[in-house]
Amino acid sequence: MNLVESLRTHRLLAVVRGKDAAAALSTVRTLAEEGIAAVEVSLTTTDALTVIRRARAELGPDALLGAGTVRSAADAARALDAGASYLVTPALVDGLEPYGVPVLMGALTPSEVEAALARGAAAIKLFPGSFGGPGYLKALRDPFPEVHFVPVGGVDAPAARAYLDRGALAVGVGSPLVGDAADGGDLSQLRVRAAEFRKITAGGTV
């Protein structure tokens, strides 16, 4: 299953960012165990490339393990060498097309959405999602009905449901899902939150 197909099916992208590399790896492992199909490790995570490399070795070649906060082609090359299978950017980034992997490219305005599509984005990371909220996504989808939008930034449980109801392909969720797990926090609570978000993205309520 490719990235867009997975996001369409599971409707959730977990965003891992932390200060403890070992804890970040445990977080990725736990999310996978809890059935979160797509996980992004931000390059701002301590020793992020090692986390990606070790997670790839553990999860196998087919896992949807991506690198986030990719801000340049050089970032992309390092992340792909470590084992990332897709890239997530916070903004418009040039030079990623030659790598031939799906890119979830950051954009906010209609002009940025067009620019991201011109750069070969597989989907648009609507960032920061909290800037306009679910109503803004609904407005964007009027001129861009065929575009895959994934809101990221400030997406808690109620917002996740609202975005999905307004046509988001999926939602990208960082701290409301991961909490402090990637900094060495309680993994049991991470499992509870993962179950909560899986229920929401499957169409349930909390």
Catalytic position from the list 34, 40, 97, 199: 40
Indicate whether 206 belongs to any domain.
no
Q: Is residue 55 part of a domain?
A: yes
Residues of the chain with pLDDT under 70: 1, 203-206
40 is catalytic: yes
At 1 the pLDDT is 62
Which residues span the domain enclosing 170?
Answer: 3-201
125 is catalytic: yes
pLDDT of amino acid 206: 34
Strand order from edge to edge, sheet including 86-88: 149-151, 123-126, 103-107, 86-88, 64-68, 38-42, 12-16, 171-173
In contact, 178 and 149? CB cutoff 8 Å: no
Is residue 37 a part of any domain in this protein? yes
Is 80 contained in some domain? yes
Task: Look at residue 11 in the predicted model and tell me its pLDDT.
Answer: 97
Residue at token pair 């903004």: 91
In a domain, residue 153? The reply is: yes
- pLDDT, residue 203, reads 66
pLDDT of residue 202: 86
Q: Number of structural domains, the chain?
A: 1
> Does a structural domain hold residue 31?
yes
At 13, which CATH number? 3.20.20.70
Catalytic residue among 97, 125, 138, 146: 125
